[in-house]
Amino acid sequence: MSVLALQNVSYQYEGTKKLVLKDVNVSFERRKLYTIVGKSGSEKSTLLSLIAGIDLCRRRNLVCGKQFEET
C-alpha cells in the first residue's frame, strides 16, 4: 500500500517549452528506503522539489498523506 504516489507528473521550467519531466509515475510505501539516482542534470533535484511541494507540476496528480489502494 502506497503512502505517496506521483501519477503522470510532468514539469517544465518557466519560460521554456521543453518538459524536463514527462509523465513520471512512482509510488512509495511506508517503512521502505528509496534512492533517486541518475547522472548530473537528470532532474533528480527537480523531482524532489515537486515531491516536497517547493515547485508545482505542469500536469499533476500527486497523492500523499494518506494510504490508498492502487488500481
Q: Is the pTM of this model over 0.75?
A: no
For residue 61, what is the domain's CATH number?
3.40.50.300
Average pLDDT (50-59) is 74
Domain range enclosing 15: 2-68
CA-wise closest residue to 30 among 67, 60, 59, 57: 67
Query: H-type helices in 1-71, by residue range?
Result: 44-52
Number of domains into which the chain is organized: 1
End-to-end CA distance of the chain: 11
Helix (H, G, I), strand (E, B) or coil at 14: coil
CA-wise closest residue to 51 among 63, 40, 39, 41: 63
- Note the pLDDT tens digit of each residue in 9-52: 888 888 888 888 888 889 999 999 999 999 999 999 999 998 88
Does the structure show a pLDDT above 50 at 67?
Answer: no
